[in-house]
Amino acid sequence: MADGSLLLLGIAGPELTPEEAARFRSLQPAGYILFSRNIVSPGQTRRLTDDLRGLSVDTPILAIDQEGGRVTRTKEIAPAAPSAPALAALGDPVRIAKAGALTGDLLGLLGFNLNFAPVLDLDHFPDRQNALRGRCWGRDPQRVIDHAGQWNRWMRKSRIASCAKHFPACGRALSDPHHDLPSSPATLEELLREDILPYTALMPELDAVMLAHVEFPHIDPELPASLSPRVIRRFLRDQLGFDRHLVLTDDLDMGAIGSRYGRGQDVKLAISAGNDLALICHRTETAGIAAQAIAELPHPVVADARERVERFRNTRLHHPPAWSDGRWAATCEALARLAEEVPAEDAGPPASSPVADY
C-alpha cells in the first residue's frame, strides 16, 4: 500500500483541483509547500492553506520559502522584507529582529507554519551563478551566526517554525543545483572549520534542516549530500547530534537530482539516507510513484522517519491566528517602513537562478 506520510508536495495553482484534492486525501502527505504560482491574494492564500488543512487527518506542514529580498513568494500581495545581505550590511540587530518577526507575522496570517529559512550557507563565491546570489548572510561564520540567529529567533517568536539550509554547504557550489549537480572538493575537516559552525551554534533554535543537492567526493564519492547516509546519518545525526530535528531534502525535481535519478529511486535513496521528508515541488503527479517507493522501504527506516515527523508536528507546529484585515494591513505597513529603512545591497550582475521565480 502506498505511503505518502513522508512526502512534502507542491500544488499546481492558486486553487486545489479536484484531482489534487483526491490525490492528497488518499496519500495523506506530511504537508505542502506553496510558491508564487499559488499566491494571488491574501484571502485566497489563507483559503488555500485552510483547505489543505481540511484535507489532512493530522496537522499538515504548510511551508514556504520566505527569505526576504528576491526569494519572497508573497511579493505580489505584500511588501518584501529586506534581504539577508542588506540586513547584514546594515548590521542593526533591532532591524534584523523586526524583519524576522514581521516575516513570521505575515506567514502566520496566511496560514503557514514552517518557513524554509534561514539560509546558513557561507557566501564562498558571491560572483558565481550558484543560486545563492543575494540570499546569504555573509562569508564569516560568526556574522552568519549573529545575524541569521537573530532573524530566526524573532521569526520563531511569531510561532513559525524554521528550517536551516542548505546542509552542509551549498555555498561551496560553483553551479546552480536547479540545473545540474555541483561538486565541491571540500573535506569534512574544512566544513567543520567553517561551514558547519552556524548549524552547531544555532542547533537549539532550529526546528529543521534542509540538505543541499551538492556532491562532496572527499566525503561520499558516490552520492550527493541530499542522498548520502554518510552526510545525513553519520555526520548530521550521529556526529553533530541533530537526531531530534526534522531533516528533509531540497526539491527532488531540481536538475541536480531529477536528471540522474528516476522518481521512486530518488525518494528511496533520500529516506534510506536519513531524511525524514522528500520534497516534490513541481511534478506532483508523480507523488503516487513516490509513495509506493516509500512503502517498499524497510519498516524500521520508515518508522524512524515517521516518529520524527510526528514529534515535529506535535511540538513545533502552531495553529494559525484568526484572519484579521487590520493585522494584515498593519503588518504590510510595517514591512514597507522597514524596507525603506534598510538600503538595498549592491547586487552586482543579475542572478540567473530560477529560485526567485517559483
What integer is the mean pLDDT of 161-188?
89
Counted domains in the chain: 1
Asked if pLDDT for residue 178 goes beyond 90, the answer is: no
Q: What is the pLDDT of residue 171?
A: 86
pLDDT of 78 > 70? The answer is yes
Q: Please pick, among 105, 123, 250, 276, the residue that the annotation labels catalytic.
A: 250
Task: Answer yes or no: is 2 within a domain.
Answer: no
Neighbours of 344 (CB within 10 A): 13
Q: Residue 93 phi/psi, 5° resolution?
A: -65, -30
Q: Taking 90 as the threshold, does the pLDDT of residue 354 lie above it? A: no
Average pLDDT, the chain: 94
Has residue 358 been placed in a domain?
no
Q: Is the pLDDT of residue 351 over 70?
A: no
Query: What CATH number does the domain containing 291 carry?
Result: 3.20.20.300
Does residue 65 carry a catalytic annotation? no
DSSP for 177-236, please give it: TTTS--B----HHHHHHTTTHHHHHHGGG-SEEEE-S-B-TTT-SSS-GGG-HIIIIIII
Q: For the whole model, what pTM was predicted? A: 0.96
Q: Does the residue 348 lie in any domain?
A: no
Is position 354 within any domain? no
What is residue 358's predicted lDDT score, i.e. its pLDDT?
Answer: 75
Task: From residue 173, give the alpha-carbon distance in Å to each of 122, 256, 270, 344.
Answer: 11, 12, 20, 25
Query: What local confidence, expressed as pLDDT, does residue 115 receive?
Result: 98
* Residue 25 included in any domain: yes
Can you give the pLDDT at residue 346?
65
Confidence tier at 353 by pLDDT (50, 70, 90):
low
Read off the pLDDT of residues 259-311 as tens digits, 9 standing for 90 and up.
889 999 999 999 999 999 999 999 999 999 999 999 999 999 999 999 999 99
**199 is in which domain, residue-wise?**
7-342
What is 44-102 written as a DSSP string? HHHHHHHHHHHH-SSPPEEEE-EEETTEETTTTTSPPPPPHHHHHHHT-HHHHHHHHHH
Q: What is the pLDDT at residue 100?
A: 98
User: Does residue 88 belong to any structural domain of this protein?
Assistant: yes
Catalytic hit among 147, 166, 178, 213: 178
- Specify whether 220 is catalytic: no
Calculate what percentage of the chain has a pLDDT beyond 90.
86
Model confidence band, residue 131 (pLDDT cutoffs 50, 70, 90):
confident
